[in-house]
Structure 1
Amino acid sequence: MSKTILAVDDSPSVRQMVRLTLVGAGYTVVEAVDGQDALEKATAQRFDAILTDQNMPRLDGIGFIRKFRTLPEGKGVPIVFLSTESQDTLKAQAKEAGAIGWMIKPFDQAQLLAVVKKVAGA
């Protein structure tokens, strides 16, 4: 059975790149357009890992993680940031909220696959 990944980004082109990269490696990918959409999808379905952007309308990445981690569905799901942001203070806030990793966009497809395989398994 393939692993299911939630890709959260307000950019359709970024979601498409993540989806194409991961589907090509055998993962199932569900897309969310912002943190609020992700929260709704992540409480309705179990994911093996979540990749989220930070700057999004309605609910940003850190806000999404904080809300998701308070729910029973949010326990134990690895969350990795995939963002253009790279400030140490923001990374610290993300870690405090419950993220386990951070990747800078634009990302290298091989690096994305390696990170997802590490956090979600093959």
Structure 2
Amino acid sequence: MKTVLVVDDTPDSIMVLCALLKGRYDTRVAISGEAALRLLGAAPVDLVLLDAVMPGMDGYEVCRRIRANPATVAVPVVFLTAQSAPEDAARAVAAGASGHLAKPVEPALLLAMVERLLAR
């Protein structure tokens, strides 16, 4: 089973995403960018669902660090964020994101994106 890392500082968002992925994927959770990078260093994952706005290290910096690490450079990263302006999506792509979805996330769209990215 493929593993998805959910990175978000909001417990409600984590619960919703984990419930949506349950039975389809193994999930790991990090509540900060720093914790996400530690988890990625400890065990590989197949995809990261990443909040953009978090205290401390934001999602854009997390994504840049994922892309800078040879061990994680190929891991797809999808931003899930309340920031839905075109410039926010452009910033995510510039940081190395594979996708950008606005919260609240449409479950069918999220699952379709995850399945497409994990099929590679």
- When normalised by structure 1's length, the TM-score is 0.92
Q: Check the 8 A contact 1:21/1:109 in 2, yes or no.
A: yes
Shift of the alpha carbon at 1:90? 2.1
Which residue identity does 1:9 align to in structure 2?
Answer: D
The CA deviation at 1:100 is 1.1
1:42-121 aligned at under 5 Å gives the runs: 42-121=40-119
What CA distance in whole angstroms lies between the structure 1 residues aligned with 2:91 and 2:72? 17
What residue number does 2:9 align with?
A: 10
Partner Cα separation in structure 2 for residue 113 and residue 92 of structure 1 = 22
3-state SS of 2:71 partner: helix
Indicate if the aligned counterparts of 1:81 and 1:103 stay in contact, CA closer than 8 A: yes
Consecutive unaligned residues in structure 1, runs of 5 or more: none
RMSD, matched Cα: 1.4
Q: How many pairs are equivalent?
A: 120
Distance 1:15 1:120 in 2: 20
Q: Which runs of 5+ in 2 are unaligned?
A: none
Amino acid at match of 1:12: P
The secondary structure found in structure 2 opposite 1:73 is coil
